[in-house]
């Protein structure tokens, strides 16, 4: 990183703040769903899957029950990507019908911005089966929605300017946990 990049970057959440936010979200999921019976955590690639795994770990610590976790690949459901003649890019969502059918699906993403990734994830889930309901959990909600999507569980609301960028860094991908804002 250059000195200029360091001056433009500001840490909003450290490892402990992320841990606390995820623990709170785990408790909120348990309360809202009266436990985890018939629930599935579905993490949106890439960082959402790691957040879903961490929530599953917290819920197991609290309830003593392991909740299933699945990965969702939204790339073939994006409205801003190249498509084949069928209207899809040729990839699958990674969810199996039997995993989704009739379940309460809690989608996880790192940052909620325009809502387009979430719309694509909901399309991927619905293409895999008919869930009982879909809920949304995000580590950071930065505003600027283009679609009428609202999260059920939020780690932290961080109002931003459109020129700013929020980056979630996780140990599994980036070597350390942090949420930073980059001033553009």
Q: Write out the two tokens for 132.
A: 């009982």
The label of the residue with tokens 């991908």 reads 173
- Domain presence at residue 41: yes
- Domain presence at residue 153: yes
pLDDT score for 89: 43
- Give the domain range for residue 144: 15-163
- Domain presence at residue 2: no
- Domain presence at residue 5: no
Question: Tens-digit pLDDT profile for the chain (184 aa)?
Answer: 455 544 589 999 999 999 999 999 999 999 999 999 999 999 999 999 999 999 999 999 999 999 999 999 998 898 766 554 454 444 455 677 678 999 999 999 999 999 999 999 999 999 999 999 999 999 999 999 999 999 999 999 999 999 999 999 999 999 999 999 998 6
Using alpha carbons, list the distances in angstroms from residue 88 to 9, 91, 92, 129.
37, 7, 9, 17
Q: Write out the two tokens for 22.
A: 């995820």
pLDDT score for 90: 43
- Domain presence at residue 125: yes
- Domain presence at residue 6: no
- The CATH code of the domain that includes 86 is 3.40.50.2020
- Domain presence at residue 50: yes
pLDDT score for 78: 82
pLDDT score for 119: 96
Number of domains in the chain: 1
pLDDT tens digits along 76-120: 898 766 554 454 444 455 677 678 999 999 999 999 999 999 999
């Amino acid at each position: 990183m250059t000195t200029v990049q360091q001056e433009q970057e500001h840490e909003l959440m450290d490892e402990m703040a992320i841990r606390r936010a995820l623990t709170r979200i785990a408790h909120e999921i348990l309360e809202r769903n009266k436990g985890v019976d018939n629930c599935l955590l579905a993490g949106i690639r890439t960082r959402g899957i790691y957040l879903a795994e961490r929530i599953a770990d917290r819920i197991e610590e609290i309830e003593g029950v392991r909740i299933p976790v699945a990965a969702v690949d939204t790339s073939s459901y994006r409205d801003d990507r190249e498509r084949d003649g069928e209207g899809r890019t040729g990839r699958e969502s990674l969810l199996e019908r039997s995993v989704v059918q009739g379940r309460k699906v809690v989608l996880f993403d790192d940052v909620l911005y325009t809502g387009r990734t979430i719309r694509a994830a909901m399309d991927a889930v619905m293409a895999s089966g008919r869930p009982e309901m879909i809920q949304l959990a995000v580590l950071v909600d930065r505003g600027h929605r283009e679609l009428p999507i609202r999260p059920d569980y939020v780690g932290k609301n961080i109002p931003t300017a459109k020129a700013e960028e929020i980056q979630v860094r996780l140990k599994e991908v980036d070597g350390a946990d942090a949420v930073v804002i980059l001033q553009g």
